[in-house]
């Protein structure tokens, strides 16, 4: 990348598509939703948990029905049939995820971001049989690896995605209040980077914070904790505007500021 001499590795504003598991879907409201796809490993783990749970369920039912003689055998056979084919369907329609998927933090949605429909859930789970062939999800794995969206055969036919279910995370804000005006105009990518640094800084170790902030020492001339504070200042400047922070706050206290 050609630097312009001032800003190290000046970031380009045009984003080339990266190799990523992030998929976007544009909804009728005109914005794009983003989904982080779940890969084969996490899904296999979820399946393992579900298989173990199903085994326990079978044992419990076997114990329960053993008191009922012939009728118990009939009930057991019907339960095996229902659990074998409809265990995932029932949980997916109730919660969007089987207990195993839930434990792994993933769930099933339609590929347009809407909730899983009953028809799609039944299709994707009946087709497990085909995915399972020739052994232990062989075809399913091949299909997932060939497909851009990690879809096994059942997902292809049902039009479903298995994605991570984002947990609501606490909103982070720049740690300091000080506003520093940057020495030059920042382009979009640079503004994004500064904001991302300031908002995520508290999750980094202090030496890593300094290491990242000192990448700009050539421009700012500051080192150590001062460089970090300086970047927080830039972030506040981007968010709040000029250093008249106090007056800006004055305007904003009324929720629908009269202008």
Partner 1 sequence: MRQERFEAENSPLWERLEQLIAELERPRYKRRMAPSERLNFPADYRLVCSHYALARSRNFSPALLDQLHALVLRGHYQLYRRRTAWGWRLLNFILLGFPRALRRNSGYFWVALGIFLLPALTLGIGCYYEQDLLYSILDEQQVASLEGMYDPANRRPGRVEERSSESDFVMFGYYIKNNIGIGFRTFASGILLGVGSLLILLFNGIVLGGVAGHLTRLGYQDTFWPFVAGHGAFELTAIVICGAAGLLLGHAVLAPGQRTRALALKQNALEALQLVMGAALMLLLAAFIEAFWSSSSLASATKYSVAALLWLIVVLYLGWMGRAPDGSR
CB 213 within 8 A of CB 201: no
Q: How far is the CB of 217 from partner 1 (least distance, A)?
A: 24
User: Around 113, how many Cα atoms within 13 Å sit in the side-chain half-sphere?
Assistant: 13
- Cα 66 → chain centroid: 45
Give the Cα-Cα-Cα angle 47, 49, 54 (nearest 5 degrees): 90
Does the footprint of partner 1 cover residue 207 (CB under 8 A)? Answer: no
114 binds partner 1 (CB under 8 A): yes
Q: Binding string to partner 1 for residues 35 to 64, with x set by CB under 8 A, is what?
A: ------------------------------
Residue 184 as a binder of partner 1 (CB under 8 A): the answer is no
Looking up tokens 């091949």 gives: 142
Q: Residue 89 in contact with residue 101, Cβ under 8 Å?
A: no
Say which DSSP state 243 is in: S
> Shortest Cβ distance from residue 230 to partner 1 (Å)?
17
Min separation Cβ 221 and partner 1, Å: 25
Q: Interface with partner 1 by CB under 8 A: which range of 15-23, 37-45, 120-128, 211-219?
A: 120-128
Instruction: Please report whether residue 18 would count as binding partner 1 according to CB under 8 A.
Output: no
Question: SS3 for 37?
Answer: strand
Pick from 62, 64, 74, 145 the residue near partner 1 by CB under 8 A. Answer: 74
Q: How far is CA 178 from the centre of its chain?
A: 32
Strands (E), the chain: 22-26, 32-36, 106-110, 160-164
| Binding-site ranges for partner 1 (CB under 8 A) | 27, 29-31, 33-34, 69-71, 73-78, 80-81, 84-85, 109, 113-115, 117-119, 122-123, 126-130, 133, 139, 153, 156-159, 166, 168-169, 171-173, 188, 191-192, 195-196, 198-199, 235, 238-241, 248-249, 251-253, 255-257
């Amino acid at each position: 990348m050609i630097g312009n001499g001032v800003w190290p590795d000046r970031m380009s504003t045009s984003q080339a598509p990266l190799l990523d598991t992030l998929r976007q879907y544009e909804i009728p409201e005109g914005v794009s939703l983003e989904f982080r796809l779940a890969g084969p490993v996490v899904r296999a783990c979820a399946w393992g948990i579900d298989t173990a749970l199903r085994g326990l369920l079978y044992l419990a039912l076997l114990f329960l029905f053993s008191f009922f003689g012939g009728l118990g055998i009939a009930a057991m056979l019907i339960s095996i049939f229902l659990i074998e084919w409809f265990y995932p369907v029932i949980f997916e329609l109730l919660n969007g995820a089987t207990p195993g998927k839930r434990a792994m933090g993933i769930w099933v949605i339609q590929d347009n971001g809407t909730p899983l429909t009953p028809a799609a859930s039944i299709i994707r789970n009946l087709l497990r049989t085909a995915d399972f062939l020739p052994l232990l999800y062989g075809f399913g794995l091949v299909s997932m690896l060939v497909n851009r969206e990690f879809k096994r055969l059942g997902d292809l036919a049902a039009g479903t995605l298995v994605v991570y279910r984002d947990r609501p995370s606490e909103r982070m804000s720049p740690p300091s209040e000080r506003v520093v005006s940057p020495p030059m105009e920042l382009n979009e990518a640079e503004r994004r980077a500064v904001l991302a640094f300031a908002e995520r800084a508290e999750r980094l170790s202090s030496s890593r914070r300094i290491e990242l902030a000192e990448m700009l020492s050539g421009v700012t001339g500051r080192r150590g904790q001062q460089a970090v504070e300086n970047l927080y200042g830039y972030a506040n400047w981007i968010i709040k505007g000029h250093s008249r922070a106090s007056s800006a706050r004055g305007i904003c206290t009324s929720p629908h500021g009269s202008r």
